[in-house]
Amino acid sequence: MHGHTCRLLPIILIFLSVLWFTGCQEKQTPPNILFIMTDDHALKAISAYNPDLIQTPNIDRIAREGALFQHLFATNSICAPSRASILTGKFSHLNGQKDNHAVFDGSQSTFPKLLQQSGYQTALIGKWHLKSHPTGFDYWSIFPGQGFYYNPDINTMGDTSQVEGYATDLVTDLAIEWFQEKRDANKPFFMFYSHKAPHRNWMPALRHLDTLQNRIFPEPSAFYDKYETRLAAHSQLMHLQEHFFAAYDSKVHTIPLKKRDSTLWKLVYEDRLTAEEKAVWESALEDERQEYISGLQSGKTVQWLNYQRYIRDYLRCVMAVDENVGRMLDYLDEAGLADNTLVVYMSDQGMFLGEHGWFDKRWMYEESIRTPLLIRYPGHISQGQIRPEMAMNIDLAPTLLDYAGVAIPEDIQGESLKPLLSGNRIDDWRKEIYYHYYEFPYMTHVNPHYGIRNARYKLIRLYGHVEGWEFYDLQNDPSEELNSYDKAQYQQEIAAMKKQMAFLQEKYKDFNPEAISGQ
């Protein structure tokens, strides 16, 4: 009996080893990844960040069941460059996408391409906005250019046709269709689920046109800012008083219009909406248009009236995004995919919602560069985390590669957020972020600039059209109205930040930051 046991022992050990190895392999199964991106979604328009403007229960669910980053920053706050930095994990000067006019070089390495090469099935649905055709995706179906809110053109693998429906709903319809009809259940998936909303010109779904009609929104911080201490802010073309179009933006086409305004309104309204859709629009907006005209007659400023129209339509667009995020999360639940799917929600950059009297983004001021980031991965990311660390959009590529178990290329400039999300304390985590904006003059006439921000201070260098420096104490001046560059009490901090900025420019290989060729 004893000898029989001895003979069985090696077999039992081998069996247990196989079980252990199999278990480890199952634990190391790479996650599916649902990467949700919106366009120009401001932090304050997500109730997980700020409950005062709007409720976004479905987006909030990702934070509640995972983690919310309080300080994620765009490295170049404009659509195509930010998207290129997210895809490549590199700053604009290295990936070649400095502005919206460049054509993205699809031959370079991107994290979807690396996931695809390591066995992921990859798909892209919705907004792309990088001019060249997507690479690194087994399947893609995208809006050409910015896309239209209503009855948009959709380019599917090179074949473009007009599709009936509302863009935010259509992106979700197409994504779920891909899951049901094209997903290979034997492979992990990466789905880039990308919305146009809430980008300009903020055309809500029919079902939301009647919402918020009676709500008057208080003016945001620095709403009547005069830019008295700043160097280039007065020359921008993104002010609600002067640069907001009555029809295209405010949807008030019963007052005299500029020619470009009429052309844009025709493009998105007359040429896109069906007769039935126009009837709903005209009925829903009648009261708000009358409110606008009456406001003008009673002496209200165009700036204030445009803000009310802007913020209402912007938030209405966000409502549709939140509903559709809920549809996607529900689908993951129903399909049994939720437990092994990492879900990311982010925007390509922030957005001014009336602060400084502005719409749009681009500037290195807080509302523009701060971007929402919420991440959920059941069993791997503890629920309800609030992450205070400073992160940048170039961190997404290494983070997702890290979770997928794919080697992170040495030339990626971002840092994986996985150690933070795993609960580890990283003593040498970055203490400041670097920013560089290039596009000039084009639409908004925002002056080229670069800068550095740490936990309390921000230093900005303007170059090209306007030369000079700006410095802000974010603790004492959170709305960034006072340029304190010449104040004596800050000179030591300014000198230290200039030295640190030079170090970061060396680290990130931005060796000639004030070169203006090609602008």
Work out the burial of residue 69: count CB atoms within 10 Å of its CB; fewer than 13 is exposed, 13-18 middle, 19 or more buried.
Answer: buried
Same domain as 232, residue 183: no
- 245 in any annotated domain: yes
Judge contact between 361 and 66, C-beta under 8 A. Answer: no
The residue ranking higher by pLDDT, 337 or 424, is: 337
Q: How far is CA 232 from CA 134, 226, 249, 286, 437, in A?
A: 36, 12, 25, 38, 14
Same domain as 164, residue 41: yes
- Give the mean pLDDT of 92-111: 97
User: Taking 50 as the threshold, does the pLDDT of residue 519 lie above it?
Assistant: no
Where residue 260 falls among pLDDT bands split at 50, 70, 90?
very high
pLDDT at 18: 47
User: Taking 70 as the threshold, does the pLDDT of residue 370 lie above it?
Assistant: yes
User: Taking 50 as the threshold, does the pLDDT of residue 81 lie above it?
Assistant: yes
- 14 in any annotated domain: no
pLDDT at 423: 85
Same domain as 133, residue 97: yes
Question: Cα 69–71–75 angle (5° rounding)?
Answer: 115
Same domain as 162, residue 45: yes
Q: How far is CA 472 from CA 131, 224, 233, 486, 502, in A?
A: 36, 19, 14, 11, 19
- 193 in any annotated domain: yes
pLDDT at 176: 98
Same domain as 386, residue 238: no
Same domain as 348, residue 281: no
Domain count, the chain: 3
* Domain boundaries, position 449: 437-507
3-7, 302-306, 429-433, 510-514 — which is least confidently predicted? 3-7
Residue-wise pLDDT for 181-226, tens only, equals 999 999 999 999 999 999 999 999 999 999 999 999 999 999 999 9
Where residue 254 falls among pLDDT bands split at 50, 70, 90?
confident
Same domain as 153, residue 131: yes
User: Taking 80 as the threshold, does the pLDDT of residue 23 lie above it?
Assistant: no
pLDDT at 302: 96
Residue 375 main-chain phi, psi, to 5 deg = -135, 135
**How far apart are the C-alpha atoms of 48 and 55, rounded to whole Å?**
8
- 209 in any annotated domain: no
Residue-wise pLDDT for 396-455, tens only, equals 999 999 999 999 999 999 999 999 999 888 889 999 999 999 999 988 999 999 999 999
Question: Tell me, what CATH number does 490's domain have?
Answer: 3.30.1120
Work out the burial of residue 235: count CB atoms within 10 Å of its CB; fewer than 13 is exposed, 13-18 middle, 19 or more buried.
Answer: middle
- 260 in any annotated domain: yes
pLDDT at 4: 52
Domain final position from 289, 310, 331? 310
Domain final position from 284, 310, 336? 310
pLDDT at 21: 44
User: Taking 70 as the threshold, does the pLDDT of residue 7 lie above it?
Assistant: no
pLDDT at 515: 87
Domain final position from 372, 396, 430? 430
Same domain as 293, residue 332: no
- 377 in any annotated domain: yes
Residue-wise pLDDT for 12-21, tens only, equals 544 555 444 4
Same domain as 389, residue 251: no
User: Taking 70 as the threshold, does the pLDDT of residue 2 lie above it?
Assistant: no
- 4 in any annotated domain: no
Question: Tell me, what CATH number does 115's domain have?
Answer: 3.40.720.10
Residue-wise pLDDT for 38-69, tens only, equals 999 999 999 999 999 999 999 999 999 999 99
Mean pLDDT of the chain: 94
pLDDT at 516: 72
DSSP assignment of 287-350 equals HHHHHHHHHHHTT--HHHHHHHHHHHHHHHHHHHHHHHHHHHHHHHHHTT-GGGEEEEEEESS-
Residue-wise pLDDT for 149-190, tens only, equals 999 999 999 999 999 999 999 999 999 999 999 999 999 999
Judge contact between 102 and 76, C-beta under 8 A. Answer: no
Same domain as 266, residue 132: no
Same domain as 336, residue 304: no
Give the predicted TM-score (pTM) of the model.
Answer: 0.94
Where residue 109 falls among pLDDT bands split at 50, 70, 90?
very high
- Give the mean pLDDT of 89-105: 97
pLDDT at 11: 53
Same domain as 145, residue 117: yes
Residue-wise pLDDT for 261-288, tens only, equals 999 999 999 999 999 999 999 999 999 9
- 390 in any annotated domain: yes
DSSP state of 104: P
Single out the residue of 132, 133, 168 nearest to residue 147, CA to CA.
168
Q: What is the CA radius of gyration of the chain?
A: 25
